[in-house]
Amino acid sequence: MRIVLLGAPGSGKGTQAKRLKVELGVAHISTGDLLRAAVKAGTPLGVKAKAVMEAGQLVSDDIVLGLLEERLAEPDTKSGFILDGYPRNLAQANALDALLTRVGQPLEAVVKLNVPDAAIVKRCETRFEQEHRADDNPETVRKRLAVYAEQTAPVADFYAQRGLLTEIDGVGAIEAIGDRVLAALRSRTRA
């Protein structure tokens, strides 16, 4: 199954992607992980990305799409994949759609984890206290939520118009949320 996981920062995308990887036997693809691995390995796209990052700029969508295309050519993606937190805006959604069509691996489902902002801030505060992750600072989280609402939330409409979107209540125990995600995905494959 080929899936995109959407949701605000702190909504549990990474946690659920790891669970789905095991349950469905598909690859978990995080663009952040792809970038870090390409830079570390010194691949041609990694060298380009490193130069951009060292200049303090954001890595272009073209570089990210190139990394995704390379990753999708690997054998473990043939049975499916989970894209964790990508695309982040409408331009990326359109570019991803074109890439997946070109490589013959169109999306089968998009799952959006719905979690109220207050619950996300609380989750991130707890994680910040436990893990001291800078991006979980409550002020930073509120800024990231504002960016999400402006740029990423419209991506859900993009996929809803294509009949791919399923929204899941992302509040509760990790296992219960995961069970809701799996049930929704299984009902899509039976439909």
Per-residue pLDDT 10s for the chain (191 aa) are 999 999 998 899 989 999 999 999 999 998 888 888 898 999 998 898 888 777 767 788 899 999 999 999 999 999 999 998 799 899 999 999 999 999 999 999 999 999 999 999 998 888 888 887 777 788 888 888 888 888 888 999 999 999 999 999 999 999 999 999 999 999 887 75
Task: Count CA within 13 A, CB hemisphere, residue 42.
Answer: 0
One-letter identity of residue 92:
Q
pTM for this predicted structure: 0.88
Distance separating alpha carbons of residues 97 and 169, to the nearest angstrom: 26
Can you spell out the DSSP letters for 77-129?
GTT-EEEES---SHHHHHHHHHHHHHTT----EEEEEE--HHHHHHHHHHHHH
Q: Which fold has domain 2-190?
A: Rossmann fold (3.40.50)
